[in-house]
Amino acid sequence: MDGIDLSTTNEIAQRIQNLPITKGEIFELIKKYDTKSLSTIAKISRDTCKNGPITYSRKVFINLINLCRDTCSYCTYKKELSDLDLSILTKDQALHIARLGKRLKCTEALIVTGERPEQKYPEFKEWLKKYDCSSTTEYIEQISNLILEETGLLPHTNAGTLNYDELSVLKKSNVSLGCMLETASDRLSGKNMPHEFAPSKNPKARIRVLENAGKLKIPITTGLLIGIGETLEEIIDSLIVIREINQKYGNIQEIIMQNHVPKSNTKMRNFLPPSHDLFLLTISLARIIMPHMNIQVPPNLSPNLYFTYINAGINDWGGISPLTIDFVNPESPWPDIKDVKHATEKAGYRFRGRLAIYPEFLLSKRDFIPKNLWNYITPLSDSSGLVKEELT
């Protein structure tokens, strides 16, 4: 494979900004150029199409319920009723975390649960009754409204494959929602594959969530999990699926490119993580396929590689908490926000806080936001749609 000269880089970057790149063209680029060259194309595209600061969201991670009906081969988030680190937070406990986050200038309350735990655990279904809830979604709705009203933090919920009605309910109290596609490959749901015992990870189920969110005009975060057995072609197919949904509905606010970090107490503990070169390639391809999209890499899953990710075209670091751990990846502590800021500025970019909803929606897609939520968004955001600098 060849390196690439500046004029060719600019020509390709300009081409993909105006017309969606095809799958065939993507493979031609991969065949002709090395990862460093493709990263250069991605960086130029980011600098042109996302000509602004590199952002992050200052958040608290509210690990509401980590019981789950699914079993993924790489996951340690799921717990059982007998586990000492089981999390079933009461309203008071969730609100206490949000209030502590408010004192630390957080603006996002990330609410995470397992997939429909009430369907597998009758004990939890009974527990929900004391809050007059028949489902996890109803409980999330109560928690979201409580956090909004008592702290002003903006809820962003990731609770798996919510149906149309559930999405519609949470739209009223959440400025955005999250549902990781992870992969569009049905193959990874097959026998002896990572999603064999995780029906909610079936691509069709995840795509339906993204499409229903689009029909409801809900800003949604999604992304891919790289290194769980997928091929490069499947990664490209997955990115194109996300692009097609966004072209139709305009509701995808961010793509998370997440590298799989094998965990010692899982079935995939001996699985090799994606190579650094492959991961950089996939980040670059995400930018090349969707030049105008917000592309994020979690900074805690491969620390001290900030510069290479910036050079591969990202424009966001995702949520970083000064208070709570990453309960999905507890072995990977959040970096100090000051360190990420320093690395970003050293690379030549401004570092700014954003809300759990991206500026594009505040500035030009205002119909995606329920009227009642503006009462909480407006005090936090400036004229550019980012967090007011005096609040950071």
Domain at 149, CATH number:
3.20.20.70
User: For residue 333, what are its two tokens?
Assistant: 């502590």
Q: What angle do CA 58, 377, 287 make, to 5 degrees?
A: 55
247 located within any domain? yes
19 located within any domain? no
CB 257 within 8 A of CB 278: no
CB 256 within 8 A of CB 223: yes
199 located within any domain? yes
Task: Give the mean pLDDT of 163-168.
Answer: 98
- Cα distances (angstroms) measured from residue 58 to each of 11, 45, 89, 367: 37, 26, 21, 25
Domain span holding position 193: 46-391
* Strands, E assignment, the chain: 54-65, 108-113, 154-158, 176-178, 220-226, 252-259, 295-296, 316-320, 351-353
Tell me how far apart the alpha carbons of residues 32 and 42 are, in angstroms, rounded to a whole number: 15
- What share of the chain has pLDDT > 90, as a percent? 93
pLDDT at 391 over 90: no
Instruction: Using DSSP, state whether 375 is helix, strand or coil.
Output: helix
15 located within any domain? no
Tell me how far apart the alpha carbons of residues 316 and 298 are, in angstroms, rounded to a whole number: 9
Tell me how far apart the alpha carbons of residues 188 and 203 are, in angstroms, rounded to a whole number: 9
184 located within any domain? yes
- Please, which pLDDT band fits residue 195 given cuts at 50, 70 and 90? very high
Single-letter code of the amino acid located at 181: L
6 located within any domain? no
- Give residue 16's pLDDT: 87
Task: Give the mean pLDDT of 168-178.
Answer: 98
Which ranges constitute the DSSP H helices of 119-231? 122-128, 136-151, 164-171, 203-215
Total domains in the chain come to: 1
240 located within any domain? yes
CB 187 within 8 A of CB 155: no
256 located within any domain? yes
Q: What is the pLDDT of residues 200-222, one digit of tens each?
A: 999 999 999 999 999 999 999 99
Tell me how far apart the alpha carbons of residues 95 and 105 are, in angstroms, rounded to a whole number: 15
User: For residue 253, what are its two tokens?
Assistant: 């606010």
- Give residue 3's pLDDT: 65
User: For residue 384, what are its two tokens?
Assistant: 């550019």
Q: Range with the lowest mean pLDDT among 14-23, 166-175, 331-340? A: 14-23
Tell me how far apart the alpha carbons of residues 366 and 388 are, in angstroms, rounded to a whole number: 19
Task: Give the mean pLDDT of 179-193.
Answer: 97
Single-letter code of the amino acid located at 120: K
CB 65 within 8 A of CB 191: no
Tell me how far apart the alpha carbons of residues 302 and 282 are, in angstroms, rounded to a whole number: 15
Characterize the bridge pairing of strands 252-259 and 351-353: unpaired
